[in-house]
């Protein structure tokens, strides 16, 4: 039985292949459904969306412009993925991330009877330099947070599907670059205690414009 739906808004950038390889390498391989959500925007190196499909991976192509609500790239695509999910659990994986081989297993252990859990992420520059473990935007209300606000990046969450369905409107309607903050606030209010992996099991490439922020707020240990 499928257990986890993975939602990936994508333009088909080359790093998507690394994400797919890391999803296929999970110990839960065969129990996941990976949804790739596209609109008309494509990376020059992208293949046809159906070329990425497989037994456990499906491409859904939406009308032109669906990948952006105002200043919220990918938010509408994520909302559609949340509604389309049919598994007990849902998580996000953008096309600039890859996972440790036990990422899903570690998140599953962190759930331990809870309705949501989070993991940490390691941030990398576009040139391949490791900036460190994010203590800024993947820690929520943890005491170790180095942010002046509470936030969990979309890529660091797993949650029960009914919660995702209830939150889909938040993703669909926002016009700001804040869908992960909205989801974190929703889960904190409605999902009860959060499980934590206390490990960095996600690797994410940092946009060049944000490198200095993450250099200052990542833990090199």
Name the nearest CA neighbour of 197 among 103, 122, 132, 92.
103
**pLDDT tens for each residue of 156-174:** 999 999 999 999 999 999 9
Whether the pLDDT of residue 115 is over 80: the answer is yes
Asked if 46 and 12 touch (Cβ cutoff 8 Å), the reply is yes
Kindly write down the DSSP assignment for every residue of 165-197, as one continuous string. HHHHHHHHH--SS-HHHHHHHHHHHHS-SEEEE
Which listed CATH number (3.40.50.300, 3.90.550.10, 3.40.50.620, 3.30.70.20) goes with 4-219?
3.90.550.10
Average pLDDT, stretch 54-79? 95
**What would you report as the CA-atom Rg of the chain, rounded to the nearest whole angstrom?**
16
pLDDT for the residue numbered 182 = 98
Q: pLDDT tens, 21-38? A: 999 999 887 899 999 999
Non-local (6+) Cβ contacts of 125 within 8 A are 131, 205, 206, 208, 211
Task: Report the SS3 class of residue 157.
Answer: strand
Residue 149 has a pLDDT of 92
What confidence tens digit (pLDDT) does each residue in 190-213 have?
A: 999 999 999 999 999 999 999 999
* Residue extents of the structural domains in the chain: 4-219
């Amino acid at each position: 039985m499928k257990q986890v739906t993975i939602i990936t808004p994508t333009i088909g950038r080359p790093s998507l292949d690394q994400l797919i390889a890391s999803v296929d390498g999970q110990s839960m391989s065969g129990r996941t459904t990976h949804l790739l959500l596209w609109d008309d925007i494509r990376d020059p190196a992208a293949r046809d969306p159906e070329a990425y499909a497989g037994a456990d991976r499906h491409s859904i192509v939406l009308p032109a412009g669906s990948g952006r609500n105002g200043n919220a790239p990918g938010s509408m695509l994520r909302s559609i993925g949340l509604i389309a999910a049919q598994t007990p659990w849902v998580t996000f994986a953008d096309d600039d991330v890859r996972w440790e081989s036990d990422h899903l297993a570690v998140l599953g252990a962190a759930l331990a009877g809870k309705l949501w859990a989070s993991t940490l992420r390691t941030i990398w520059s576009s040139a391949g330099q490791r900036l460190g473990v994010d203590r800024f935007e993947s820690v929520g209300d943890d005491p170790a947070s180095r942010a002046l606000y509470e936030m969990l990046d979309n890529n660091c969450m797993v949650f029960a599907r009914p919660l995702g369905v209830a939150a889909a409107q938040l993703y669909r309607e926002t016009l700001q670059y804040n869908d992960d903050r909205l989801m974190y606030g929703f889960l904190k209010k409605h999902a009860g205690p959060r499980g934590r992996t206390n490990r960095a099991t996600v690797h994410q490439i940092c946009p060049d414009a944000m490198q200095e922020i993450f250099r200052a707020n990542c833990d090199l240990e």
